[in-house]
Structures are given as structure tokens and as C-alpha cells.
Amino acid sequence: MEELIIKPAAAEESEQIAAMIGKVFVEYNAASMLPEGRAKFLEFIRPANIRMRLTAGACMFVAYHGGQVVGVIEVRIYSHIALLFTARHYQRRGIAKKLLQAAIARCLEKRPQLKAITVNSSAYAVPVYEQLGFIIRNKEQMQQGVRYLPMVLLLPQQ
């Protein structure tokens, strides 16, 4: 059995990252968004845009299994999860948790006093984030065609 590898994402992986996210998004998230929100998200995950963010130093980690991208996390300003996706057949295996742990470690390197990580979760992903320790911090919101629930993970203080 091949080992799961978690590593910082590289710009040349943008196509694989975008393809995996796109498949999961269409299956689990797209229906909960207005057309404007779907278009905005699909633009955000275009390979060229992922490549640009990575080239600019984005905090992004990928999970590989068998040479395939099976998970990804991106954290903005070392405190807000912009993307956390796991390929369908790899869900419920702890990959999101491992990606989150890697991202939190990097965030704490860059921002040692960081007290919390936030996310604007889709309704589908709320139970996943709750299992990871996040709590809902406000009612459902809608912005630019995207429905989400603001959530927060309080980090243990050193």
C-alpha cells in the first residue's frame, strides 16, 4: 500500500490541484451556490490563478497518494482557510486533518501569536470542520452568490 504524502504545493501542480478541487466542488458544493458564486469559485480555482497564488508564496499543502493529488488546503494571511478539499474516494481517512495540521504548523511559524484559524464553510463541509474542532461563530451568510457559515478553530496558546 502506498503512503500518503503531505507537502507544500508547487506552482507546477496547479493543473492537478484545480482538477481535483473542481470534481469535488461540482459533486458536493456547486448546487448550494447561485450562478454568480459558482462562477467566482471556478475562477478562483483556475490553474493559472492557483499558479499565480503559489508563485506569490501562498500557504498551500497537497496530499498525494499513488502519484495523484487527493487533497489540498490553502490558508490566506496565515489565518483563514480559503480551500480544503479531499477527493471523493479519499474522504473519511483523516486527510483533511493531516492537511490542517500541516497548515496550522506553517501558520504558527509565520504568526507565532496566532490564536485562531477561520473558515467560511459550505453547509456540506460543516460536519467535517466540526470534527476538526471548529465551531460555528455566526448564522449562514451569502456573499457574491456564495452561501457559507463562518467558523473558527481556537488554537491552544503556547
Confidence band, pLDDT 50/70/90 cuts, at residue 72: very high
pLDDT (average), residues 127-156:
90
Question: What does pLDDT average to over the chain?
Answer: 90
Does residue 22 register a pLDDT over 70? yes
The span from the CA of 158 to the CA of 61, in Å, is 24
Percent with pLDDT over 70 in the chain: 95
Nearest Cα residue to 83 out of 91, 73, 71, 92: 73
Where helices occur in the chain by DSSP H, the ranges are: 14-28, 35-44, 47-55, 95-110, 126-131
The span from the CA of 120 to the CA of 108, in Å, is 20
